[in-house]
Structure 1
């Protein structure tokens, strides 16, 4: 179960409590689900009971107990515990991590994309012929299409051909002309210098990683191989997953999704990936996806030393499960970079 699925399940529990007269509140649009904080337990925690307590006119722990009973009725959780002032802590069955990894590997780089076809939304994007605006528009179009939207682009002025040939920024409108029901104007702080000398990957990261109101760092050391460089960390983590798969094949074993201990942080950010992609597309903030990929890379790195057997140790089910989780992390990183128009090399 992903955090997004768990959030929907929590909201369903709230709705049931309201329908059955145990709570008198407005069902919120979203329940925040995250790894447990200090004093918490289990796989995920939510503060929805604290969020609803005032409107319900009841102590948060009372609200939490009402929701706990309904979550346990779902029979999808190993346990649900109330901690602190009213946090709900959920423990998933041991197969949950394997199910998430299996879903990621099955969907591949399209994990996080909608599987429901046309969303019913036609989005019109307006931009001007400035290099950062054009690159951001290209990514926003990719993100919107990943969520099933039809995208129309209107650019004021003529983009330089090098922005397509070198940077891969394609703002071509595809498909028949249809009326748009949503629109967005892309107008980030312009690039202070020509990013073309950086090359495609570094230039796109330089233009996309900062928030729209921040000035891009050009020139920059976006491809320098050191830990302080976020793009390097993302691409290095992906390359490590590919190396682990090659090394495991040499040792005669392959990934097999299953339970993985001490990987809650990584599983949480992988499970959150579809929500982040959807929110990035809806809020038109490619920097959010870039930061999320850095978080995934940083959460994945502690797993890697335990993936392969050491010395005379034989590959076990735990090794195969950790290898599958590493492959899933690499898949999410590659898919996210692809949405940003950035390459994910197998070797660095």
Structure 2
């Protein structure tokens, strides 16, 4: 059961509660909006969670926790759900059955591979533009870090279906455009919705080149001073102390695993259908890796809403580190071992990791090479 399938299950529970007279019909219109199901945050329980009860409380005219209790009784009867727990002010936490959990992991990987680097995107940009949706105006001072951050924020907002226009207080230096890939729609001081003003770069990042310079400017939070000029070599070093290297190395490893698996005569299979029993074996840390991939759409939404590309950068480091420590060594058969359903499933998961890393780096304006 995937998050999308769980969302539909929750919507059906809302409709049943309305049909049974336990919730006002007004909640149906609110419920028709996208119901977000994601991995539980700190303090949550189970495999997935949703805040739909908090969204429906006002139209229902009831406290959020009461709405959650009404929905939990119906959701607990749904196939594939072992239990539902209400936490906090009214969060619904789902515990999936073992078979549903395994199915959800495979379906998630299949979803990522199908969506490609656009996994987590909201396909609403063209529709929103044609419907006359208000354009979000981003404005930045004519300073290199502000422009790089604004460029990435614009990419993140567009990935979430937002129509964005950017402006700068003055004309950016040509090398910022040519080397760092900064794009600004206009210069001047028109009325704006969002002023992008991170702590300025302490020195010129251009000697680092596009990828390392953008990472050095984007990885720290906007209120933190980027480390440029302290030790330029740390941003270019191909070693574990460099987080950008770890992310790009993990991405390159996923491609190497695909090529090596092809040499051994097998390909990835996210659903486990290559094995009639459907059984695969997880490796330690694999569940955390799947959870991080499932969390990617939420990270994109949060990074866009908070105008914080550093959140995405840190998420990519976490995905890369978890992949290298858990799944990467177990994807290919060892010694005389033959490729099994577990290897095919792990390879598909590794390819999903590569897809998420590549898509995230692209939103930061950074290249994701297949070879390092």
Give TM class, smaller chain: 0.7 to 0.9
Alignment of 1:284-323 (within 5 A): 284-301=307-324, 302-323=326-347
Alpha-carbon distance between aligned partners in 2 of 1:36 and 1:129, rounded to the nearest angstrom: 38
- Counterpart in 2 of 1:214? 224
Give, in angstroms, the shift of residue 248 of structure 1.
0.4
Give, in angstroms, the shift of residue 36 of structure 1.
8.9
Could you say what secondary structure the match of 2:76 adopts?
helix
Q: Does 1:223 align with 2:228?
A: no
How high is the TM-score relative to the length of structure 2? Answer: 0.77
Q: Does 1:336 align with 2:364?
A: no
Could you say what secondary structure the match of 2:194 adopts?
strand
Residues 155 and 231 (structure 1 numbering): CA distance in 2 closer, same or farther, change over 3 Å? Answer: same
Alignment of 1:253-272 (within 5 A): 253-258=266-271, 261-262=282-283, 263-272=286-295
Q: Which residue of 326, 329, 333 corresponds with 2:350? A: 326
- Counterpart in 2 of 1:118? 127
Q: Which residue of 171, 174, 184 corresponds with 1:158? A: 171
Give the aligned CA root-mean-square deviation in angstroms: 3.6
* Unaligned runs of at least 5 residues, structure 2: 273-279
Give, in angstroms, the shift of residue 336 of structure 1.
0.4
Does the aligned pair in 2 maintain the 1:4–1:275 contact within 8 Å?
no
Output one character per residue of 1:211-270: Cα deviation in whole Å (capped at 9) or x when no partner. 111111103412323323221221111111111111101101111112563522112221
Output one character per residue of 1:243-302: Cα deviation in whole Å (capped at 9) or x when no partner. 111110110111111256352211222122122212222221111111111121122221
- Counterpart in 1 of 2:277? none
Does the aligned pair in 1 maintain the 2:142–2:169 contact within 8 Å?
yes
- With CA pairs under 8 Å and 6+ residues apart, which has the higher RCO, 1 or 2? 1
Does the aligned pair in 1 maintain the 2:257–2:347 contact within 8 Å?
yes
Q: Does 1:97 align with 2:105?
A: yes
* Unaligned runs of at least 5 residues, structure 1: 174-179
- Counterpart in 1 of 2:194? 184
- Counterpart in 1 of 2:73? 69
Give, in angstroms, the shift of residue 4 of structure 1.
7.3
Does the aligned pair in 2 maintain the 1:121–1:181 contact within 8 Å?
no
- Counterpart in 2 of 1:34? 39
- Counterpart in 1 of 2:275? none
Q: Which residue of 128, 141, 144 corresponds with 1:128? A: 141
Does the aligned pair in 2 maintain the 1:64–1:88 contact within 8 Å?
no
Residues 123 and 4 (structure 1 numbering): CA distance in 2 closer, same or farther, change over 3 Å? Answer: farther
Q: Which residue of 108, 111, 119 corresponds with 2:116? A: 108
Residues 320 and 15 (structure 1 numbering): CA distance in 2 closer, same or farther, change over 3 Å? Answer: same
Give, in angstroms, the shift of residue 87 of structure 1.
7.7
Does the aligned pair in 1 maintain the 2:6–2:37 contact within 8 Å?
no
Alpha-carbon distance between aligned partners in 2 of 1:266 and 1:33, rounded to the nearest angstrom: 14
Alpha-carbon distance between aligned partners in 1 of 2:225 and 2:136, rounded to the nearest angstrom: 26
Does the aligned pair in 2 maintain the 1:192–1:218 contact within 8 Å?
yes
Could you say what secondary structure the match of 2:168 adopts?
strand
Alpha-carbon distance between aligned partners in 1 of 2:185 and 2:44, rounded to the nearest angstrom: 52
Output one character per residue of 1:30-67: Cα deviation in whole Å (capped at 9) or x when no partner. 878435989966x33679999x9xx9789x8x987654
